């Protein structure tokens, strides 16, 4: 797992799962299953990237909290991945 504690990974996983549950209506069932499998395998970065790409492709509105949470998680995980760019155009007011 690396230099972080298992609690760190559990917290990130839990936050990602919460977001996935919230946006589940925007996901195809096979994509939802894949993301959940990646979370179970502790592939947190892959999960986040697939989730962002899937939401962008779906083009359906998302809440500001989803955008903020995904962006914060990407930063926390020290990912060099632009969450805001692809998703900011999907914000609903």
The answer to whether residue 45 sits within a structural domain is: yes
Q: Under a CB-based contact definition with an 8 Å cutoff, are residues 39 and 20 in contact? A: yes
Report how many domains make up the chain: 1
Residue indicated by tokens 């020290």: 78
Q: Is the pLDDT of residue 2 over 70?
A: no
Q: Would you say the pTM of this structure is higher than 0.75?
A: yes
- Taken as a whole, the chain contains a residue count of 93
Domain assignment present for residue 1? The answer is no
Domain residue limits at 27: 6-90
Query: 31-81, pLDDT tens digit by residue?
Result: 999 999 999 999 999 999 999 999 999 999 999 999 999 999 999 999 998
The rounded distance, in Å, linking the Cα atoms of 50 and 43 is: 11
- Judge whether 64 lies within some domain: yes
Q: Report the C-alpha gap between 32 and 85 in whole angstroms.
A: 22
pLDDT of residue 62: 95
The model's pLDDT over 14-24, given as tens digits with 9 standing for 90+, comes to 999 999 999 99
58 assigned to some structural domain: yes
């Amino acid at each position: 797992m690396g230099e972080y504690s298992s609690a760190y990974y559990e917290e990130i996983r839990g936050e990602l799962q919460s977001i996935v549950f919230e946006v589940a209506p925007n996901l195809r069932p096979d994509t939802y299953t894949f993301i959940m499998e990646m979370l179970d395998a502790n592939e947190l970065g892959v999960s986040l990237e697939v989730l962002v790409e899937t939401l962008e492709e779906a083009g359906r509105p998302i809440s500001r909290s989803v955008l903020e949470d995904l962006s914060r998680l990407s930063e926390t995980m020290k990912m060099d991945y632009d969450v805001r760019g692809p998703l900011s155009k999907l914000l609903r007011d």
